[in-house]
Chains A and B, each alone.
Chain A
Amino acid sequence: MTTTAQPKADKAAASEEFTRKPRSLWTDARRRFWASTVARIGLAITLFLVAVAVISPILISEKSANERDTRNKLLPPSWLMSAEQRAEASREVEWGPLTRPFGTDQIGRDLFRRVLLGAPISLTVGVVAVLLAVVFGSLMGLFAGFFGGVIDAVLMWLTNIMLAFPSILLAIALTAISNNPESFSYKLGDFISSLPVLRTLFDAPLANAMIAVAVVEIPIFARIARAAVLSVRNQEYITAANALGVPQRRLLFRHVLPNSLTPILVQMTLSMASAITSVAALGFLGLGAKPPKPEWGSMLSDARNYVVTGQWWYALFPGIAIMLTVLGFNLLGDGLRDALDPKVKA
């Protein structure tokens, strides 16, 4: 729900900044980026999360994260337990203050391991969703902007329609459709969740939720790409190239596309944040990953029942994980935007 960034990025796209020579732009940008505390913190959080996402599946097996211990269900973080309580919980292994640092869930699983294993899932969901949205969205925008006329009108009409729904509502509706095995999105979800690496991270419902979120992000990228094309299209060097008989396709991909990269890059970072929240929200509403997949939103959906009975830790840690991730990408996005387009203030 960081869609607020979109009009700004729109403006960014339309700004004249892109007429500058690439090199100086990038050098300037890099300097500005490193000078910004916000950007550095964002980058640090993001890198930390990526590291967690890469390392935790190596150190923690999914089996150990799903291991039940019904005798020790719903225990608070072990550093909050007294020595006696820990002694009582110990069986084969002696419990120390850090044995279950995030506590346990309703069948005694280790929440620490589950929260950590949620990182690769959420990050991958974000990356794949954003990639899908970027590919389809910027292609739409490029065609609309470059060819204009009827194509432009129809494509922009489509994006306007999609932007006319509150994004989470559209995602919910799309997820509901994906339950139909006949639907295209179901098949796409099925395909994505069967790909080599993704297979271990996704299940079919999660893949469907992810596609729904990607679809919702498409119009944002379409608008940015179109605006970028329009701003570049009438530049003299394009007119010149056109006059020299450079084929349209080449123009599109050689000149126009690279010039719309910066706003798209900024929006990608921000969309990562909103995609991750949205997928978690769908999981929370029971429309995402299925148990026992340790997806953060689905964990919160389970935890919800235990919040009212006092087991606060169950909901606390997955929520913090989501917040940290989203914060990281939002800060990084803000930093990138300030660095790449100094005229627009956050």
Chain B
Amino acid sequence: MVGETPRSTRSQSYLGRLYGALLVLGRVLAYILRRFIAIIPVLLGISLLVFLLLRTIPGDFAIVALGERSTPEQRAALRHQYKLDRPWFIDLEGGNIFDTQYVNFIANFVQGDFGESLKTKRAISTELLKERFPATLELSFFALLIAVGVGVTTGVLAATRRGSWLDAGSMLLALIGVSIPIFWLGLMMQYLFGVKLHWFDLSQRLSNEMLRSFEPITGVYTLDGILRGRLDVTWDAIKHLVMPSIALATVPMAVIARMTRSAMLEVLSQDFIRTARSKGLTESTTIVRHGLRNALIPVITVIGLQMGLLLGGAVLTESVFSWPGIGTWLLEGIKSRDYPVVQTGVMFVALVFVVINTLVDISYALFDPRIQHR
């Protein structure tokens, strides 16, 4: 559609067109800004929830941090250091009304000062941003790649060969795919490809030798391998990514395949496709250029939604494959009562989740002409 629309506006002046474009751009930017402002109360609510959750989990922070044999003075000193001896929300008696636990929590988080892990005594910002998040990001990115690649292709093929065995078969697989517990799928893959066939290692992100001989930059090992000129590392990282990312990709892949198929079917039944065909364009050009392009809107929306869900699925996948990402980090944190880790991790995941969902909403609004940006 884009390439062949008659330029009815050609008569307009260049300035006029620029003005129009700027107007649209301005409106779009204002809309995006509004959406982002709208998530502030949600983020505040999340921080409140995380704050309260952490204070409901049983166990004394100071005892966990210092051990049973610590003296009351040591514990008091630690509570003071972490400002746990301050009131929760507002301080009506002390000097500074806002020198409270909650306000400090927010202030520290915003400044990126996450404190130290009680278990490893390391800076949480290092663990989160240099190790755990890149690991989850890499896993999710590859899962998304697989889900989109396989899902869209399958959906298009199924739609173009509607009613064939390929259509029926792939849609049956997709139905099973949305219903499969991914932790179970992971286990079964470990058995088949790891234990039986010895194709892949059962866990870890890199082989021992690679891990030792290689200094990561971003923490995304496939990327770091390229940046450091160590393609063997990239290759090794990809091999370790195969099983977990397929497991994580399963559900989104199935959802995307189904959505692509139904969107394609709707588009393919429309007039302009018939026109394209009658113009003598080859079938593949028709389908890709005209069909897929127009079916993309709902598909991309679904992909966006799945991006957020990948974060949740990552918790389970990481647990099965001992993947050192945010999911296992949080699970260990909860189990060992590493409060600073849990607090930061949950807050961070929610933040990423909200931002992704908002971006998806925005793109959805921009794509769908029926939705007005009021």
Q: Which residues of the partner chain A approach B357 to less than 8 Å between Cβ atoms? A: 164
Whether B315 and A169, one on each chain, are in contact in the complex, defined by CB atoms closer than 8 angstroms, is: yes
Q: What residue of chain A has the Cβ atom nearest to residue B252's Cβ?
A: A4
Q: Which residues of the partner chain B approach A138 to less than 8 Å between Cβ atoms? A: none
Whether B184 and A323, one on each chain, are in contact in the complex, defined by CB atoms closer than 8 angstroms, is: yes
A196 on the B face (CB < 8 A): no
B216 on the A face (CB < 8 A): no
Whether A164 and B315, one on each chain, are in contact in the complex, defined by CB atoms closer than 8 angstroms, is: no
Complex CA distance for A306 and B202, rounded to whole angstroms: 13
A303 on the B face (CB < 8 A): yes
Q: What residue of chain A has the Cβ atom nearest to residue B330's Cβ?
A: A169
A157 on the B face (CB < 8 A): yes
Whether B181 and A346, one on each chain, are in contact in the complex, defined by CB atoms closer than 8 angstroms, is: no
Q: Which B164-179 residues have a C-beta within 8 angstroms of A?
A: 175-176, 178-179
Complex CA distance for A7 and B309, rounded to whole angstroms: 14
A interface residues, tally (CB under 8 Å): 52
Contact with A along B57-69 (1 / 0, CB 8 A): 1100000000000
Whether A280 and B316, one on each chain, are in contact in the complex, defined by CB atoms closer than 8 angstroms, is: no
Interface centre among A1, A277, A300 (most CB of B within 10 A): A1
B340 on the A face (CB < 8 A): no
Q: Which residues of the partner chain A approach B251 to less than 8 Å between Cβ atoms? A: 1
Q: Which residues of the partner chain A approach B181 to less than 8 Å between Cβ atoms? A: 277, 280-281, 284, 300, 319, 322-323, 326
Contacts A165-B349, A166-B349; is A173 near B334 (CB within 8 Å)?
A: yes
Complex CA distance for A11 and B279, rounded to whole angstroms: 37
Whether B350 and A2, one on each chain, are in contact in the complex, defined by CB atoms closer than 8 angstroms, is: no
A143 on the B face (CB < 8 A): no
Whether B187 and A166, one on each chain, are in contact in the complex, defined by CB atoms closer than 8 angstroms, is: no
Q: Which residues of the partner chain B approach A330 to less than 8 Å between Cβ atoms? A: 175, 178-179
Q: Which residues of the partner chain A approach B188 to less than 8 Å between Cβ atoms? A: 307, 312, 315-316, 319
Minimum Cβ distance to chain B for residue A169 (Å): 6
Whether B179 and A161, one on each chain, are in contact in the complex, defined by CB atoms closer than 8 angstroms, is: no
Contacts A316-B188, A322-B181; is A183 near B312 (CB within 8 Å)?
A: no
Segment at the interface with A among B42-50, B73-81, B155-163:
B42-50
Complex CA distance for A346 and B302, rounded to whole angstroms: 12
Contact with B along A276-294 (1 / 0, CB 8 A): 0100110011000000000
Whether B42 and A161, one on each chain, are in contact in the complex, defined by CB atoms closer than 8 angstroms, is: yes
Minimum Cβ distance to chain A for residue B312 (Å): 3
Whether A172 and B187, one on each chain, are in contact in the complex, defined by CB atoms closer than 8 angstroms, is: no
A180 on the B face (CB < 8 A): yes
A160 on the B face (CB < 8 A): yes
Contacts A169-B330, A304-B187; is A323 near B180 (CB within 8 Å)?
A: yes
Whether A310 and B195, one on each chain, are in contact in the complex, defined by CB atoms closer than 8 angstroms, is: yes
Q: Which residues of the partner chain A approach B46 to less than 8 Å between Cβ atoms? A: 161, 164-165
Complex CA distance for A182 and B55, rounded to whole angstroms: 12
B353 on the A face (CB < 8 A): yes
Q: Which residues of the partner chain A approach B313 to less than 8 Å between Cβ atoms? A: 1, 166, 168
Q: Which residues of the partner chain B approach A322 to less than 8 Å between Cβ atoms? A: 181, 184
B369 on the A face (CB < 8 A): no
Q: Which A140-175 residues have a C-beta within 8 angstroms of B?
A: 157-158, 160-162, 164-169, 172-174
A222 on the B face (CB < 8 A): no
Contacts A177-B56, A327-B176; is A169 near B305 (CB within 8 Å)?
A: no
A119 on the B face (CB < 8 A): no
Complex CA distance for A164 and B39, rounded to whole angstroms: 10
Q: Which residues of the partner chain A approach B176 to less than 8 Å between Cβ atoms? A: 323, 327
13 CB < 8 A contacts A-B: A2-B178, A4-B302, A161-B46, A164-B354, A164-B357, A166-B313, A172-B334, A177-B56, A180-B56, A284-B316, A303-B187, A315-B187, A323-B180
Sample of 13 further A-B pairs with CB below 8 A, known A166-B309, A169-B311, A316-B188: A157-B45, A165-B349, A165-B353, A168-B312, A169-B349, A174-B53, A180-B56, A182-B58, A284-B183, A322-B181, A323-B176, A331-B175, A346-B258
